[in-house]
Chain A
Amino acid sequence: MEVPDGLRYTADHEWLRSEGDQAVVGITAYAADELGDVVFVELPAVGRKVAAREVFGVIESVKTASDLYCPVAGEIVAINDALTASPELVNSDPHGAGWMIRLRPDDPAAPETLLDADAYRAIIGG
């Protein structure tokens, strides 16, 4: 199971990639695999402020709908429009083209409080 080293992770199976004063968020390969074929992703409006662990959207597979939890508090600055027409990107490239939101964290140090790749690997038993 792919767990890229340069990312941060949550126990809810989201990843976060810091890019300067912004962060990109998506779900991990483990979560995508658990979900199965993704058929629908509901993302928030740009400009919305979300709290840490607040539900920012919903991801639906053929069989289920699951909430998406924001890893750190911040303001949404962009969402991945490609997921509207191609939700399957979450399955095929969960850490890259399947990204979901870009936000500006309220606290620039917050991402470092998240799990690193080794800690996340331990959680998923890999």
Chain B
Amino acid sequence: MSEPGSLRRTALVELHRGLGARLIEFGGWEMPVQYTGIIDEHRAVRTAAGLFDLSHMGELWVTGPEAASGLARAIATDPGRLAVGRAHYSMMCAPDGGIIDDLIVYRLGPERFLVVPNASNALVVAAELRQRLAGTDAQLEDATLTTSLIAIQGPRAREILAPLTDVSLDPLRYYAIAAGTAAGVPAHVARTGYTGEDGFELFVAWADGPVVWETLIAAGAPLGLMPCGLGARDTLRLEAGMPLYGNELGRDGTPVEAGLGRVAKLDRGDFVGRDALEANAAAPRKQLVGLVLKDRGIARHGYPVYLPGADVACGDVTSGTMSPTLEVAIAMAYVPPDQAALGTMVDVGIRASRVPAEVVALPFYRRGA
């Protein structure tokens, strides 16, 4: 166990070093940002497969007779509506509707749920969930530090993983999960991901992470599998129009403002933040949009967005990069709700210049399109 104040490391950190990874601090963990290069890794995921160590993310098990109803009041979705073996995307909101985290909830049994928060919010979500479940017949076990999570993503992910798991992958639909083995160790295999490609996320015991990683690398390298870091993870999810907590999502925004109103359905029982979200849905303060830059320049987090000719910014860029797949500069930004129509032209402030950009639909990239 690491000392308080120092960075946490996953069970795979020495493997990453051995592969020449550049390590950075992320969410309190020392994680690989790249191995050979962000663009090469990004392209590997789009054309073959990439392997990601996601062991820094949280894993919270919620069990018991009131697990479903307790979660339904604690988060913005109703996991009781999930069939066993299914999952959905969710958010935890504050009473004022602000987003505490976005998460995936998997249902492993009638009274057994796995909640996966972001690494940077794992402790906050665990504490908040524990508090919100207090007094209910539901138990919370934080397995973050006893679970390794490895994702294989890309068009060849299924082909690479299939011989290495006893879970049948063809019947495993998108957002489904099954228990079995992978690389000879007990695993939960989920067909979820953060890249816009087909892929799988493998939840295994902490100490089993290295054997799963090395087995997948050995089997997948001949088929084009590359280890991928957080740099490529970010460019992939941005192309796929997926939000990142800390950029598109935060305490100062709501699901509706982030274009994710369908996640927080209001036509059900009460949950934390429900009334605030209902009021906000009628009067959102901002709207998240996709932008494509029409002239040379790259929009980045924090850059101002202007209506053409305006002196004062009307919004700001939340994420941006040069898209490796599309080879144009793409971005997500918050603009006033009445300036969010597709085709609206805005200007992005990039240093001393204003670069025109067009509001476009998300995602920027769709697999198979």
Contact = CB atoms under 8 A, between A and B. Distances in A.
Given A40-B296, A63-B231, A58 B322 contact: no
Given A40-B297, A40-B298, A40-B322, A58 B37 contact: no
B300 A62 contact: no
A65 B317 CA distance: 15
Contact of A37 (B37, B234, B296, B300): B37
B37 A36 contact: yes
A62 B351 contact: no
A39 interface: yes
Interface residues of A, number: 12
A60 B350 CA distance: 12
B153 interface: no
Given A36-B34, A36-B231, A39-B322, A62 B39 contact: yes
B235 interface: yes
> Which of the listed residues A37, A39, A40, A84 has the most CB atoms from chain B within 10 Å of its own CB?
A37
Nearest to A91: B37
A8 to B, nearest CB: 28
A53 B40 CA distance: 34
B144 interface: no
Contact of B38 (A40, A42, A62, A84): A62
Nearest to A34: B22
B298 A60 contact: yes
Given A36-B38, A37-B39, A39-B322, A62 B235 contact: yes
A62 B297 contact: no
A24 to B, nearest CB: 23
Interface string B19-53: 00000000000000110011110000000000000
B321 interface: yes
A58 B38 contact: no
Interface in B296-354: 296-298, 300, 321-322, 324, 351
Contact of A65 (B34, B298, B324): B298
Contacts of A62: 38-39, 231, 235, 321-322, 324
Contacts of A63: 33, 38, 231, 234, 321
Contacts of B34: 36
A84 B327 CA distance: 13
Interface string A86-98: 0000010000000
A60 B296 CA distance: 12
Contacts of B40: 37
Interface in A58-87: 58, 60, 62-63, 65, 84
Contacts of B39: 37, 39, 62
Interface string A4-15: 000000000000
Contacts of A40: 296-298, 322
B69 to A, nearest CB: 43
Interface of A: 36-37, 39-40, 42, 58, 60, 62-63, 65, 84, 91
Interface of B: 33-34, 37-40, 231, 234-235, 296-298, 300, 321-322, 324, 351
Q: Which 6 A-B pairs have the closest CB atoms?
A: A39-B322, A37-B39, A62-B38, A37-B37, A40-B298, A37-B38
10 contacts: A36-B38, A39-B39, A42-B351, A58-B351, A60-B298, A60-B322, A62-B231, A63-B38, A63-B321, A65-B300
